[in-house]
Chains A and B, each alone.
Chain A
């Protein structure tokens, strides 16, 4: 369980925690707080938020790791009452480069000189696009189970779908990508934003489900490995 030490600014630690709950593992599309990646959050008397992060393995990909640390830094820095953020990733092969790069705000490419050719916007978009595919399965699967036909699904708009957490999540991911997310937007969309025809619906749903299975399976691996690294067994 994470340590949320209360400081003199008593509202600040829980506000910092809430801010961290908006940070997603971009590869898994899940909050880092739910995944157990936040080891501790503390706020000192001078308004410094001290956040410690951990990941399932020493070799977790440096690009996704960087995004989580940078997003955590930005989220915590925006909390009222926090004057300075000290966010550190621990037990990771690229921790020195990532922590220093995020603290200095120099970006990914400058944090890994000679090893990167650009920032991580494109990478983030690829995974948001996967999240939008997976999200269509989450929202459409119950409708399929209830007997919706391919023709109905091809015509259906987001406004016609019953309200749910999954629907809100899908709308947010689409908005982040610049894809239509209002009530008139089609429920089913190809990754390029084009409509899915009635004939394409069965295969599209197969792809959406596969994408969801892939991402959720990764999440299960990450949880298992984090457990065995930090909680599970008596080792060494």
Chain B
């Protein structure tokens, strides 16, 4: 919990990792790709305030002690959600698997939620694994990384026929939160890998599932917003937005927040600190202190209220994951998790998609 000026904020960090990118885990023959991945993350790490930056060696793999201190002791996080990401094409034991995350989660009951994953290319065997993971780890959510490389394949879509079977399975197993993360590759490579029309399609076809688009679809914020305004079960995962822009590019942070509040709305935005790309402390403190600039250029963007910040920092995700919120932090109203109608006046679909 974070307290400032008499207000208490319940913090749910809905996008965090406990990864192992140590050299020992770089798959023999694939070292270049394993290193390329974590180097890319380390580039993002530099976008935080200088005093929060670590040396490369520490960044590769943190200890349990580091995690607990950075998240719970110093970072104000009440509950963190692990987004398991496998990348076994590059990391021998995976980047952060459900087993690795789950082992830590079991030591801190009530504080850590572990999300699983699925991948349509795993076929029927993967369906069984998903069911086993759901039982073992009580899954309420999964992380879907569509750009994952596997046996020569550079990625997949949520509309692949096998994906539908996984989504049906998730519905059956009560895994209602689908955290989607697009990346730079997909099959076929001549298409835009970041395109979100598959998410749009399955959000319509599976209205009982929630689709939390991580990193707000970056680098396709506009496509994400045009979709989210039409789909009541699509959410903006604000991971990378806060960590990557609030300190490094404050004016752009303001614009992106302004656009998200307008198109998606404060009930559909969730905080993610992206540990250990960044630590949560400065992000939580910074967002609570933050306000839309007074400048004319920002005058028609919504200003944030205390309630806006409480919802984004924890209450919305708490509702999606059924996490009990202490009465002193609660608000009577967030529509997160409810199937509210899209803003029809903004959903003029005929002209919605640029380039469509």
Contact = CB atoms under 8 A, between A and B. Distances in A.
A127 B222 CA distance: 12
B244 A221 contact: yes
B354 A191 contact: yes
B190 A224 contact: no
A132 to B, nearest CB: 8
Nearest to A59: B184
Contacts of A119: 190
Given A57-B40, A220-B249, A213 B56 contact: no
Contacts of A120: 190
Interface string A171-214: 00000000000000000001110100000100110110111011
B43 A191 contact: no
Interface in A123-148: 123, 125-130, 133, 145
B187 interface: yes
Contact of B252 (A112, A129, A191, A216): A216
Contacts of B348: 200, 203
Contact of A224 (B248, B353, B354, B356): B248
Interface stretch (A78-86, A154-162, A227-235): A227-235
Nearest to A232: B46
Contact of B346 (A62, A203, A209, A221): A203
A59 B190 contact: no
B71 to A, nearest CB: 24
A206 B252 contact: no
Nearest to B42: A235
Contacts of A57: 36, 39-40, 43
B259 interface: yes
B351 A63 contact: no
A228 B190 contact: no
Contacts of A61: 184-185, 192-194
Given A217-B245, A217-B252, 16 more contacts: A57-B43, A58-B37, A61-B192, A112-B189, A115-B188, A127-B355, A130-B354, A200-B348, A203-B346, A206-B262, A207-B352, A220-B252, A224-B43, A224-B46, A224-B249, A232-B46
Interface of A: 27, 56-63, 93, 108-109, 112, 114-120, 122-123, 125-130, 133, 145, 190-192, 194, 200, 203-204, 206-207, 209-211, 213-218, 220-221, 224-225, 227-229, 232-233, 235-236
